[in-house]
Structure 1
């Protein structure tokens, strides 16, 4: 079993997820109603959450704390799924030339109305020159 399979294993009850995420059970059920998470169910219909579910809930909480609404959260997840290669590249250290290329693509892409994967990373181009 590889690491990704292990991340998908349903291990946590909703009470444990509440402690891990700081969210209420009501909030967690609300996000499930909006198809932002899909926890597994036991034969007794109890929710069982995986590490991946907990990570998604933490991202939801972070985005909401930053001021996004539910539509913005859904848009962020859609963007993440649409650009898996961009997500992977953003994790790695990029050269200035690579950042320029990605920025150019995002600026030319009319659909790029969501946050940039380079948000915060562009500051390197506006540093004071001594």
Structure 2
């Protein structure tokens, strides 16, 4: 039985410094795209951002859009159109949204006065 090896482009193992070298972007630019929810790096044990090869391609796509004159809002609109067209849901965005919701629920469930349990 032969086993086909395939590069795992979705494995987030690349640190910020490597991403800077591969994309030509500054750490500030990359962090900004993260803050604008254009990319969603995973976090290592020390909370350092870790990127996959797919995310490297995404960063280069974002840079191309910005170079072509698109705004951040325009890029979000393009992303939404792509999602509607393909019907593909951004699983990372759904996971982050649920995490934020659970954190918010947890805050409501603990009261300093002890009147909510």
Determine the structure 2 residue equivalent to 1:72. Answer: 74
In structure 2, C-alpha distance between the alignment counterparts of 1:51 and 1:82, rounded to whole Å: 24
Determine the structure 1 residue equivalent to 2:113. Answer: none
In structure 1, C-alpha distance between the alignment counterparts of 2:35 and 2:6, rounded to whole Å: 28
Determine the structure 2 residue equivalent to 1:106. Answer: none
Unaligned runs of 5+ in 1: 86-130
Give the CA deviation at 1:84.
2.2
Determine the structure 1 residue equivalent to 2:52. Answer: 50
Determine the structure 1 residue equivalent to 2:11. Answer: 9
Normalising to structure 1: TM-score of the pair?
0.59
Unaligned runs of 5+ in 2: 88-117
Determine the structure 1 residue equivalent to 2:86. Answer: 84
Number of residues paired by the alignment? 84
In structure 2, C-alpha distance between the alignment counterparts of 1:59 and 1:3, rounded to whole Å: 23
Normalising to structure 2: TM-score of the pair?
0.65
Root-mean-square deviation over aligned CA pairs: 2.1
Determine the structure 2 residue equivalent to 1:60. Answer: 62
